[in-house]
Structure 1
Amino acid sequence: MNVIGISGWSGNGKTTLLVRLIPALRERGYSVSTIKHAHHKFDIDTPGKDSFRHREAGAAEVLVSSANRWALMHENRDGEEATLDELIAKLSPVDILLVEGFKTEDFPKIEVWRTESGTRPRYMSDKTVIALATPASDVEAPIPVLDLNDEQCIAEFIIQHFKLEKATHGTAC
């Protein structure tokens, strides 16, 4: 699986780019999955529902299935967060795995950065950042600078980075 991160400080547009990249890669014929890191406690279950009650009763994992989708919830009762490699191992193989977050892990990343954020770009101190996606046209960097508003060209950059065969012909940049 070809794993690439969409990284950057909060509020710079990582999720917005990611949800535009998925269809740009899919329309080229690539299968895509995502992993999203959350820095806070979150819940995808609803209090009172059977699956919620199963977890509350102490089940280590609860799998909910229907004709439309299935979801596996795993409780980290020991307080240890799963590593990115452990999470990747749980996924079905795809052509491209887009990872939002996990910015301190060692894998290639495209940093989303806006000058108006007032933050220093991470690529300056993070060797795993292979490109900078920004709306600013005057940014110079020692890595490729991509137009944050052009998901087609960013998709093409990802395809070229992994030297993937074109599944279908996409937009040239």
Structure 2
Amino acid sequence: MRKLLLLCLSTLAVFLLATAALVLAGLHDRLAPADVIVVPGNTIAIDGTPSPRLQARLDAALAQFQAHRAPRILVSGATGKEGFDEAASMARYLQSRGVPASAIIEDNQGWTTDATACNAAALMRTHGWKTAMVATQYFHVPRFRLALARAGIDVSANVHAAYFEWRDLYSIPRETAGYLVYYAKP
């Protein structure tokens, strides 16, 4: 029984250390030029606008676009349970804040982080773009960077959305487990 307790405590300690490392990595913005900023989708409000969480991602990308770190923004998402195309809603949000439609690329097949990474990689190869910047929640940054890297994308930079909520207490450990699964995948 004592060995089992020690094993459980050791496993918990490793998980908590991994979680802390993930959070710290995601909170550390890496600013560098990129060919495109990639913003993964999230919840759309019942009025068809991005949720506050998604707005924060878009605002992070917008700040980098306005700082001329990338000439275009790729918004990726799918039609969620709310019935709205996330990518279209994200594009409208950015356009309403002065981003020209010609600088926004919509991917409405970004059902998952993997799908967004694969779609972004294919699009980037088609256009000859080499580097990407990630703009997402701090706890999602490491897994999204890993997914893009595995899809063959050079992730030159990342920024996190300045938005924190109680839901993060669930999302952070979930993201730690998700990162471990992505890392273990061939």
* TM-score (normalised: structure 2): 0.33
Give the number of the structure whose residues are more often strand, by fraction. 1
Give the number of the structure whose residues are more often helix, by fraction. 2
Q: Which has the larger radius of gyration?
A: 1
